[in-house]
Chains A and B, each alone.
Chain A
Amino acid sequence: MKVLVPVKRVIDYNVKVRVKADGSGVDLANVKMSMNPFDEIAVEEAIRLKEAGKAEEVVAVSIGVKQAQETLRTALAMGADRAILVVAADDVHQDIEPLAVAKILKAVIDEEQPGLVLAGKQAIDNDMNATGQMLSALLGWSQATFASKLDIEGDHAVVTREVDGGLQTIKVTMPTIVTVDLRLNEPRYASLPNIMKAKKKPLDEKTAADYGVDVTPRLEVVKTEEPAAREAGIKVGSVDELVEKLKEAGAV
């Protein structure tokens, strides 16, 4: 089985985000970028499937600016076998919308014929949480979102999903699309031999036009704002005082 893992290049989770002066979005100039943390978990899971003998090949795909090849190299250094870069933007500030990404992924999947797509549940930059679901609809494949556990059993996958009330276990027919949640695994560091090998692994470069997908934005960002600053807290001297303050605030 071949596993396809879409990976997105996003602002590093340690970076303090700054809204652009005109409110059109977040300032990404000269900012550290990394692989979307949920995608890292997806890459890790794919490699574990390969190590367990349940997958033969792991292919990482990234759609965005040319610099996303760094993100793909990271996936290769973690252990992915090859990578496909689909250049769809030339400005880091141009985010490719989920529908366009899903359409490009569908085209890649038509060519590659993977048995499983492992994606992050969402990208930490725009928190859309939509690409996996849209891809499922476009392909007519089953989907299992928010996975915290994954078992491949022949032509089915058993997936534990993190839902509001707790955990839900479902069985889906392969091929399928699984979007992964935080607790699925802990991604590994790239090992030094794999870092050295990553350069030699194939990285194909395509464009959105190669797949005939129009990436023109359909959504308009009206305004971007900093989150409201949290107000300073207070210190209380005793449990009684705490209870009193909570009562005052109507919290108990």
Chain B
Amino acid sequence: MQYGLTEEQEMIAATVRSFVENEIYPHEELVERTGEVPREIADEIKRKTIELGFYACNFPESVGCAGLSHLEFALVERELGRGSMALNHFFGRPQNILMACEGEQVERYLMPAVRGERMDALAMTEPGAGSDVRGMKCSARRDSGDWVINGTKHFISGADHADFLIVFVATGEDQTPRGPKKRITCFLVDRGHPGFTIRDGYKSVSHRGYKNMILEFDDCRVPDAQVLGEVDGGFEVMNTWLYATRITVATMSVGRARRVFDYALSYAAEREQFGQKIGKFQGVSFQIADMITEIDAGDLLTLAAADRLDKGLPANREIASAKLYASEMLARVTDAAIQIHGGMGLMDDYPLERFWRDARVERIWDGTSEIQRHIISRDLLRALGA
């Protein structure tokens, strides 16, 4: 990794950071209290993001977007990570898997998505299939030239605001020496399509207002034109397009950890007990030292993984390491920040308890910490034939 950021990259990060501080922070309290993002606020964030040319900045110039590199986009997401996920959902970053759109799909899905006219959400997880994606039961069968989808998806983030869903379902099964293996196909399904229902999911302790929804498919009939990529090619589109987006959780964890750290640092510098600033006690100051060291490590690990993506180098293990380390680092940092705040850290007068709650999901979604460790170790051991 070539070390250091260019002036432009610094400016991209500074601009997003100042956007988050000025356009997102002021609404956070309302979202925390009500669990909802009012329509007007959502629309305003979206409008401003479009005006600034940041909407869909993860998409290439060929579709009229900024075409940021992986590293630059990681900086954008890192700074967004400081703010409420429910709000910065409208600082739109559509799933880049939409680049797989072909023919009329381009005008129906890709272009409206990058212009901020239609929002997407991505559905893989099912009640019976989380880490084990191939265990999915939601399936589509052929019926007089169409596909008929049946089954349930849950935990689908952003589906409450989605105009269409990117859904992975089973379209068959192959017998292999290691047992049966599902064939997966990716479909684009519009909100309101007959046989397709989006309903409220569970109340989550993390990220209030950023809802997870349940999708139900009941004899939902769609034509071939709704297949994204090839029939039975779900894993190929997944691997081509979702590979890089796994870095998102890592970058956001780093940004949020920095925000939390700043609260802890200033509290340690101001709060007095036993006649002096608590930051003077080694018990507190050493926590501060460990926090910033871990945050910097997470930052560098994440940017280095993004840099590998830009250079076209293998990054599977590096992305997994970044996701694993940054999400677990965030858990430790938010916990220490509460400790430094003493009892007040738990009270909702301060945002610390919220960051502590929010941190919990980062070790679970987008591949649990265990699955990341599995990816990392397999990458190393498989090469040695183990």
Chain A positions near chain B (C-beta within 8 angstroms): 70, 73-74, 77, 189-196, 198-199
Contacts and interface: CB of A to CB of B under 8 A. Distances in A.
24 contacts: A70-B10, A73-B11, A77-B15, A189-B15, A189-B18, A189-B52, A190-B11, A190-B52, A191-B51, A191-B54, A192-B12, A192-B52, A192-B57, A192-B66, A192-B68, A193-B53, A193-B66, A194-B53, A195-B15, A196-B66, A198-B7, A198-B8, A198-B11, A199-B6
A141 B94 CA distance: 53
Nearest to B23: A189
Interface residues of B, number: 16
A43 to B, nearest CB: 14
A190 B18 CA distance: 10
Contact of B19 (A70, A77, A189, A193): A189
B258 to A, nearest CB: 13
A85 to B, nearest CB: 13
Contacts of B66: 192-193, 196
A192 to B, nearest CB: 4
B51 A195 contact: no
B19 A191 contact: no
A77 B11 contact: yes
Given A189-B15, A189-B19, A192-B57, A73 B7 contact: yes
Interface string B47-81: 00001111001000000001010000000000000
A154 B18 CA distance: 37
Contact of A195 (B12, B18, B19): B12
A35 to B, nearest CB: 11
Contacts, number: 41
6 A-B pairs closest in CB distance:
A192-B53, A191-B52, A191-B53, A193-B53, A192-B66, A195-B11
Contacts of A199: 6-8
A133 to B, nearest CB: 31
Contacts of A189: 15, 18-19, 52
Contacts of B18: 189
Contacts of B53: 191-194
B82 to A, nearest CB: 14
Given A191-B51, A192-B53, A196-B66, 18 more contacts: A70-B10, A73-B11, A74-B11, A189-B18, A189-B52, A191-B53, A191-B54, A192-B15, A192-B52, A192-B54, A192-B57, A192-B66, A193-B53, A195-B12, A195-B15, A196-B8, A198-B11, A199-B7
Contacts of A198: 7-8, 11
B72 to A, nearest CB: 9
A89 B101 CA distance: 55
Nearest to B52: A191
Contacts of B57: 192
Nearest to A69: B7
Interface in B103-147: none
A74 B7 CA distance: 9
B13 to A, nearest CB: 10
Contact of A190 (B6, B15, B68): B15
Most buried by B among A73, A189, A190, A192: A192
A200 to B, nearest CB: 10
A196 B7 CA distance: 10
Nearest to A196: B8
Contacts of B12: 192, 195
Interface string B1-36: 000001110111001001100000000000000000
Nearest to A186: B22
A195 B7 CA distance: 9
Interface in B310-325: none
